[in-house]
Structure formats: structure tokens, C-alpha cells
Amino acid sequence: MVSPHGAAESGAMRPSIDLPPDSMVAPSRDVAPPGRPKLLVRVRAAIQMRQYSPRTEEAYVQWIRRYIFFHKLRHPAEMGTEEIQSFLSDLAVRGNVSASTQNQALCALIFLYKLLGKDIGVLGDVVRAKRPRRLPVVPTEEEVDHVFAHMAGLVLLVCRLLYGSGMRLLECLSMRVKDLDFQRNEITVRDGKGRKDRVTLLPAICLPGLIDQLGGVQRMHENDLRDGVGRAPLPDALARKYPNADREWSWQFVFPASSLYTDRRTGIRHRHHLHESVIQKGMSQAVRRAGLTKPATPHSLRHSFATELIRDGYDIRTVQELLGHQDLSTTMIYTHVLNRGGRGVRSPADRLPLRPRPSLDGLSQRAVLGRPSGRPNTEP
């Protein structure tokens, strides 16, 4: 067998790596040959078995690829702690990546070596990127209203939902018809961050726009059914448990894409939800037209939602539940945005009425200081 470096090898065969010369090949390249599956095929299978999100799968596979190419196509089973340290340190020093990016690469490599059954020990000599503590960008109520004045149509409806419910952009776009409750004015967020469900607000100002949106989506869905398509992708194994559920109206996306796509695993043509870039570009254009100096994004509307609730005096635990935060300290960051102290507490001294300072004419200085006039000072 010839090694990736060109030298002939003898003895035991090296583990196979399914890496093409171009690292930007589409994900469908990882086709396992007969016999032992190749490395990235095993990685993908392990990630899917643990029901990680498709984005996590693609991120982990790309980091493993970069790690292997960084070490000249050496197999990870032949490397260990020293090679991991050099790769992560290079990301921080030469790549100048953020702390979260370096941490994502580390998580991908830890997952890889757990899959290989190899202990990588303690990575104590890694040059870690410094994680800054930053406050979120929070547009004020007036700024949000000014930005919304430069929006229209679908972009305005989605951004109003983000500002009025505190949802993340992807949570909003992946919302299905069955998740809307118009009687209770509630939205059920399914499979949010951390694969958790929660219930949040359905703003009353969005009801007319949502009703019009659902009417247009229903007409498009009926046309798709007549054309033999009209199938929405279902989570997990629901498609096998309920074979016809993907054609039902309740499972369709509230904000569907304008075109169909073919699932590379099943070969079925689906209509997915609208891509996030459509709303991101619309928000960017509105911010620029409004002359807003803050770098506001659709996610900034979520920050504004939380900040306004805390400003209105709602309990921090209620805000945590609506946002879907696992840790209360994540929600507490919005109290720092308000100029009311580190814990969002108003000083009791600020509630005292402001009175003019009493004149010393006709009063003794001791009376002003709290001692009755005419009484001798017997205090030490």
C-alpha cells in the first residue's frame, strides 16, 4: 500500500480515510465501500445516531477534515494529544479565530477520538483564544420602530414575530402551521436550541399578517399536491411512522421556500422553509436605510424583546422561560444592558422625593443633622 506521502508501507494496513483531493466536495461524497466503513462515514453515522442537528454534523466533519489536512493526511488514529495541541494552537495564533470557533473545533476532535476509543488526555499546552465578555446589541423601541418603517411584506412579518416573541430566526422560519394557537395567542417552539420545546407569545399585531400568509401558503400547498409533490420534511422517524403526514396541512411550514429541493438521503422532493439569508438581507437593508448606527441583525430583535420585558418589570424567570435559556445567568446579561445597576435593581434612595435643602436660618445646625435644638449633646 502506498501512503499519502508517497512511500510504500509494509505490515499492517493503515486505516482508510475518505478524503478527496478537494475538501470542498459536496457531502454526498462519503459513500462507504464494501467492508469497513471509512472514517467520515463512521463519524456521520455516529452523529446521526445521537440525533445531533445537520449543522452540527457538517461542522464536525469539516473540522475533522481540516485537522487531517493540517497534519498532511495522517490518520487520526496515529495521532494524539500533541497533534491536537498544535492544530488548536495554530487556529488561535495563525488563524486568529474566536474562542467559540476554537472551542467548536475542540468539540469535534473530542467527539472523533471518543469514536475511535482513544484517550487524548489533558490538553494543557493549547494556546486558547481569549473569550471576550460582550454585551449584546440591543436596539431601543424607537430604533426598532424606525427600522420596521423601512420593511414590508414577509420580512416585516418575520421581524415583528422575532421582536414580539423572542424567537431565534431559525426557530421562527421552521415554525409549522400546527405550532400556531390563535385562540391562546401562543406559539409552540419545537426542537429549539438544545432540542427543547417551549411556549412563547404570539403578538396580536402579527395576527392579520399571519392569516394572510397562511392563506397564500395553503393555496401553494394545494397546487403542489395537484402536481404530485407538497411534502414537507418531517423530524426524526415520523415519516416512517406516519407515511402521509408530510402531505398534511398542519405539518407544512408557515414560511415555505419558493422552490423545491430533493433530499439526498431519501430522494424525495420537499418544500423546505425559507432560508435565513432572505430575512438577514432584508433586515440589513432596512437598518442601512433607517440610518441606524448599531450593527443590528434579526437576532438583535430577540435581545430587544428580553430587554423590554425586564424593563417593564417582568420576573427574570418568566423571561428565561420565554427565551428558552437553560442557565439563568444567560438571561441575567440583559439586566446589564439596562442602566439600573448590575442586577437590574433600583436603589431605594432613588424613590425618595427630591426636596429643597432646608435653610439654617432659625434652626440650629444640630436640628438639621438630626438632633433637637436646645438639647445638649451628650453623645460621645
CB 98 within 8 A of CB 129: yes
Residue 334 annotated in active site: yes
- Amino acid occupying residue 236: D
Cβ–Cβ under 8 Å, residues 128 and 99: yes
**Residue pair 284/211 in contact by the 8 Å Cβ criterion:** no
Is 113 annotated as catalytic?
Answer: no
Report which of 65, 77, 168 is spatially closest to residue 114, judged by C-alpha positions: 77
Task: Tell me the CB-side half-sphere exposure of residue 159, using CA atoms within 13 A.
Answer: 30
Dump strand ranges (E) for the chain: 180-181, 186-189, 198-201, 261-262, 269-270
Q: Are 188 and 181 in contact (CB under 8 A)?
A: yes
Q: Per the residue annotation, which of 60, 67, 163, 334 is the catalytic one?
A: 334
Kind plus residue range of the DSSP H or E element containing 269: strand 269-270
Q: Which one is catalytic: 231, 270, 302, 303?
A: 302
In angstroms, the CA 279 to CA 158 distance is: 8
| β-strand partners of 2 | 8
Asked if 163 and 304 count as a contact pair (C-beta separation under 8 A), the reply is: yes
| DSSP summary character for residue 256 | B
Is there a catalytic annotation at residue 299? Answer: yes
The active-site residue out of 150, 160, 270, 325 is 325
Residues in the chain: 380
Q: Which of 203, 251, 216, 215 is nearest to 231 (CA)?
A: 251
Out of 168, 270, 271, 273, pick the active-site residue: 168
State how far the Cα of 74 lies from the Cα of 67, in Å rounded to an integer: 9
- Structure letter (DSSP) for residue 166: -
Nearest-5° angle of CA 81, CA 101, CA 124? 30
Catalytic residue among 118, 193, 272, 336: 193
Is 196 a known active-site residue?
Answer: no
Cα–Cα distance, 138 to 294 (Å, whole number): 8
Which residue among 299, 311, 366, 371 is the active-site one?
A: 299
Instruction: Just list the catalytic residues.
Output: 168, 193, 299, 302, 325, 334
